[in-house]
């Protein structure tokens, strides 16, 4: 790509995402889309496997006695986040930016800041997302290039949210 990237993967609002990266994201998203609810749920359960205390970042989990695996609010939240993440990744190249509505981005920035989400949490979410996609797609589809494409798309979404977090 001709664009110089900043350290946050975004340069003046213009993102760099190659045709090859887009193709890898689209190919895997086409497979996963049919099973979004289940995969999104696995994504969040992986986050809590790595960092159990992250449940405290979610108001609807803080005082819940329902096991994580059976928590309906978590399931709904997980599918929303997973689809939003994958759709933003799928549209990244054509849109030239993270396609979340400005109001959504502002809300995400405010919510993440208010609930105490820090750099380490975003990193764990990135790790959990990549592990989850690796398990969700056919074994012969997963590759270092696909991992890198999803990692880049996630980084750009996080950069867009962080811009609204006013650290």
Residues that bind a second copy (CB under 8 A): 49-54, 118-121, 123-124, 127
Closer by beta carbon to a second copy, 97 or else 134: 134
Say which residues have a Cβ less than 8 Å from residue 46's Cβ, sequence separation at least 6. 128, 131, 132
Closer by beta carbon to a second copy, 83 or else 124: 124
Q: How far is the CB of 35 from a second copy (least distance, A)?
A: 25
Q: How far is the CB of 115 from a second copy (least distance, A)?
A: 13
How far from the centroid of its chain's Cα atoms is residue 29's Cα?
13
Q: How far is the CB of 57 from a second copy (least distance, A)?
A: 10
Closer by beta carbon to a second copy, 49 or else 87: 49
Residue 94, phi then psi, degrees to nearest 5: -65, -40
Closer by beta carbon to a second copy, 54 or else 90: 54
């Amino acid at each position: 790509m001709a664009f110089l990237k900043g350290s946050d993967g975004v340069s003046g609002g213009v993102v760099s995402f190659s045709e090859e990266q887009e193709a890898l994201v689209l190919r895997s998203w086409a497979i996963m889309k049919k099973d979004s609810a289940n995969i999104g749920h696995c994504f969040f359960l992986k986050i809590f496997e790595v960092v159990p205390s992250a449940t405290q970042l979610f108001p609807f989990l803080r005082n819940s006695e329902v096991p994580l695996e059976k928590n309906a609010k978590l399931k709904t939240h997980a599918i929303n986040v997973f689809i939003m993440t994958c759709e933003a990744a799928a549209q990244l190249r054509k849109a030239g930016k993270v396609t979340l509505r400005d109001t959504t981005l502002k809300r995400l920035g405010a919510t993440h800041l208010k609930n105490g989400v820090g750099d380490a949490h975003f990193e764990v979410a990135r790790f959990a997302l990549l592990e989850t996609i690796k398990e969700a797609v056919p074994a012969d589809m997963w590759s270092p290039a696909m991992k890198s494409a999803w990692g880049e798309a996630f980084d750009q979404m996080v950069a867009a949210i962080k811009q609204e977090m006013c650290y």
